[in-house]
A and B are shown apart, each in its own frame.
Chain A
Amino acid sequence: MSDLTSVDNSAHDHHDHKPTGWRRWAYSTNHKDIGTMYIFLAMIAGLLGMAASMAIRAELALPEIQFITDSQFYNVLVTAHGFLMVFFVVMPALIGGFGNWFIPLMVGAPDMAFPRMNNISFWLLAAALVLLVLSGFVQGGAGTGWTAYPPLSNADYHPGPAVDFAILSLHLAGASSILGAINFITTILNMRTPGMSFHKMPLFIWASLVTAFLLLLALPVLAGALTMLLTDRNFGTTFFEASGGGDPIFWQHLFWFFGHPEVYIMILPAFGIVSEVVSTFSKKPIFGYLGMAYAMAGIGVVGFVVWAHHMFTVGFNVETRAYFVLATMVIAVPTGIKIFSWLATMWGGSIEFKTPMLYAMGFIFLFVVGGVTGITLANAGVDMAFHDTYFVIAHFHYVLSIATIFGIFCGVFYWLPKMCGNMYNETLGKWQFWITFIGVNILFFPQHFLGMAGMPRRIPDYPDAYAGWNLISSFGALISLVGALMFIYIVWVTIRSGEKAPANPWGEGATTLEWTVDSPAPFHTHEQAPELEPKSAAQPAE
């Protein structure tokens, strides 16, 4: 590929030239700066979302009403917590943050394919966050739950503009993600360094590619459904209004056609990070590389044909339910391949239990627990009893909140030396891991018991029968809060005064291309296509 070296030699002599002041960030077209802004935004939204969840757990610690006397305010807290965590914490951190930072670094590209579009993607998301926060301050707020089912979300039950603000916020966030997905796919398809075939891409790249395709296919459906809801609310259409011949169930079909792929959008990048980390700290190539890659692709494809398992109670006939039960359980197969391959990678490896590895193993544990309850809920008959109970809450928090958050923490500890150039304090990191791990399990495990006893979700009060486990759960929330604040402290201290990190702080196990550039990664990297040594990529030891 001799033509590549001649493409652009004009820039690399001013290696670290960059704009300064606010212009560097507001006008940024640099994938690393934009990635940093995404992670920063995720941290801000994370604090907001966590404040909402702490208020919820404080209210639920004891029976009867403690301090949230306005039920609509409780609904708004629940809704805000869901929207913030899904669209403004997990997605920006895993996709916008790590995706922007490490896709170009790992495929050997100098930047994203469309750097200006990248800038738009970020600022659309920032605007979306502002709109969402504003919706909490107008006429009672949006108390629809993150699923925004009509008729609760229509103009009869939410007459003010709060829900319109939330809808437009999701429109912007969706547009941001679709543009980002186009950028990611183009970068991965067209800008890999010579020699990096599809089957030599690191698993984080595979995960990002599948995630980006899911975004591209699922988010436009959400945008369409939200537009229908918006016109139903404001312009007299009746897509979801029974009085005009519409059907509220139709919203549920559209929402979950987006919503189910959305949960894989949140977990797949974490799969990718955990794969990299397990391989690095076991000092072995990942076991069953091709199986791992195609398992993610398989999860992505099957994820589009299982949506109705979220709506078993709407009155499907037996055949429909049987299909969705089976299709849902099929997902356990590729997921099982992934769990097995992670364990097999560790098997016989020379494992170093550094903080990122602890988080990767914590992720695997939490994902298995949530996956097992997922198989339970996949049974339509069981789901009739568990629908809208705390059992569902416990299930999806295990998989898509604490497991993905562990994926994010894992990625931060793993890549922080590359991003800021300093090493975190290993002792503090390990303490932070154990506090968080114990906290989230005390927080969410008792919710299984509450759900099996029939405690409904989204209600601020409960009978005395549910006291006890609720208090323990709220106590776990406090421990988790300590873990989260400690995480922010560790990141702060690392950036301010951490030890200087070498280009590759993890040794022989870290074989992907981001470890070949300096720490912190220079403003411009891979201006020359990097050499891909035969053994350097995350490829199988065939």
Chain B
Amino acid sequence: MQLSRQNTNHRVSNKFTAFWLAAIAIGMVGVAFASEPLYKLFCEVTGYAGTTRVAANAVSNDKILERVIEIKFDSNVNAKLPWRFRPVTNGVKVKIGEEVIAFYEATNLSKKPIVGTALFNVTPYTSAQYFNKIECFCFSEQVLKPGETVQMPVTFYVDPNIKNDVWENDLKTITLSYTFFMAEDQSAAIKINKSEASMGKAAFGVPRNQIREVFSYIGDSNLKKGENL
């Protein structure tokens, strides 16, 4: 530009200024993309948006409180997944800190094997940070053969530290909700289709003929099955 009386401030050139401004703009695009993993991490750490905790083992018996809380079970299936999915019991009343096993039942209504994956949260969202799962069918993907029905366990307890949280003093009910979706990766279903391995055991699902075993296992251990509502 012949006409431009460039830059009256001779300390920095226009190009230099534009360069660092462009760097800021590109950096902010980076911030937008970096916020995706950060947002997930944030949800997991804080229990934000109903993200539950994962625990390795249960709390010791002496820490179990007398306070009772009701856990309700909710189930949803995405419209694209031809499964039936529901909780075996509608809910249980549990002592805070007590470890409980509950079952959901899923049936593949279609004529081909399908891999499903379950997403979950709890409401009220603020209680999520105290809701600890030890084992859950939602930790992995589930393969169901045509017509197959499985019962799937989730083992959890409510963290006794909830007693120190004044905002949760009047908490009486926590709703645990699952939604089953078609998994992106259907390779496990394709494998079954090809080899008919027919061992019938889904990654975490428990085939129907083994359920009694599972229940008796509960009876033998110190775990108490939640009182049915």
Query: 0/1 per residue, B99-129, Cβ < 8 Å to A?
Result: 0000000000000000001010001111000
How far is the CB of A263 from the nearest CB of chain B, in Å? Answer: 18
- B residues contacting the other copy or chain, number (CB 8 A): 44
Partner of B4, one of A115, A217, A238, A253: A115
Whether B167 contacts A182 by the Cβ 8 Å rule is no
The binding surface of chain B is classed by DSSP as helix
* B6 close to A (CB within 8 Å): yes
Supposing A110-B5, A221-B28, A529-B5 touch, asked if A186 and B39 sit within 8 A by C-beta, the answer is no
Whether A113 contacts B49 by the Cβ 8 Å rule is no
Supposing A224-B32, A244-B184, A529-B5 touch, asked if A186 and B25 sit within 8 A by C-beta, the answer is no
Residues of A within 8 A of B49 (CB): 247, 249, 314-315
Residues of B within 8 A of A109 (CB): 5, 8
Whether B32 contacts A191 by the Cβ 8 Å rule is no
A193 to B9, CA, bound (A): 9
Residues of B within 8 A of A113 (CB): 4, 7, 14, 17-18
* A223 close to B (CB within 8 Å): yes
Partner of A186, one of B14, B32, B125, B179: B14
Contacts of A84-118 to chain B: CB distance below 8 A: 109-111, 113-116
**Which candidate, A6-14, A334-342, A402-410, A495-503, is the interface stretch facing chain B?**
A6-14
Residues of B within 8 A of A57 (CB): none
Chain B, residue nearest A222 (CB)? B32
A10 to B1, CA, bound (A): 12
Whether B21 contacts A4 by the Cβ 8 Å rule is no
Whether B126 contacts A317 by the Cβ 8 Å rule is yes
Whether A189 contacts B17 by the Cβ 8 Å rule is yes
Chain A, residue nearest B124 (CB)? A315
Whether A189 contacts B8 by the Cβ 8 Å rule is no
Residues of A within 8 A of B184 (CB): 236, 238, 243-244
Supposing A1-B8, A228-B36 touch, asked if A185 and B21 sit within 8 A by C-beta, the answer is yes
Residues of A within 8 A of B12 (CB): 189-190
- A residues contacting the other copy or chain, number (CB 8 A): 57
Residues of B within 8 A of A193 (CB): 8
Residues of A within 8 A of B179 (CB): 242
* A298 close to B (CB within 8 Å): no
Supposing A317-B126, A318-B167 touch, asked if A250 and B39 sit within 8 A by C-beta, the answer is yes
Supposing A10-B2, A186-B14 touch, asked if A242 and B119 sit within 8 A by C-beta, the answer is yes
Residues of A within 8 A of B167 (CB): 317-318
Residues of A within 8 A of B40 (CB): 245
Whether B5 contacts A220 by the Cβ 8 Å rule is no
Whether B9 contacts A191 by the Cβ 8 Å rule is yes
How far is the CB of A225 from the nearest CB of chain B, in Å? Answer: 6
Contacts of A20-64 to chain B: CB distance below 8 A: 29
Chain B, residue nearest A108 (CB)? B8
Whether B78 contacts A243 by the Cβ 8 Å rule is yes
A407 to B24, CA, bound (A): 29
Chain A, residue nearest B22 (CB)? A182
Contacts of A152-197 to chain B: CB distance below 8 A: 178, 181-183, 185-186, 189-194
* A518 close to B (CB within 8 Å): no
* A239 close to B (CB within 8 Å): yes
A239 to B2, CA, bound (A): 48
Query: 0/1 per residue, B30-43, Cβ < 8 Å to A?
Result: 01110110011001
* B182 close to A (CB within 8 Å): yes
How far is the CB of B157 from the nearest CB of chain A, in Å? Answer: 22
Chain B, residue nearest A112 (CB)? B4
A137 to B3, CA, bound (A): 44
Residues of B within 8 A of A178 (CB): 25
How far is the CB of A13 from the nearest CB of chain B, in Å? Answer: 12
Partner of A182, one of B13, B21, B125, B181: B21
Residues of A within 8 A of B18 (CB): 113-114, 182-183, 186
* A254 close to B (CB within 8 Å): yes
Nearest first, the 10 A-B pairs at minimum CB distance are A224-B32, A220-B28, A243-B181, A220-B29, A182-B21, A113-B14, A186-B17, A221-B32, A317-B126, A11-B3
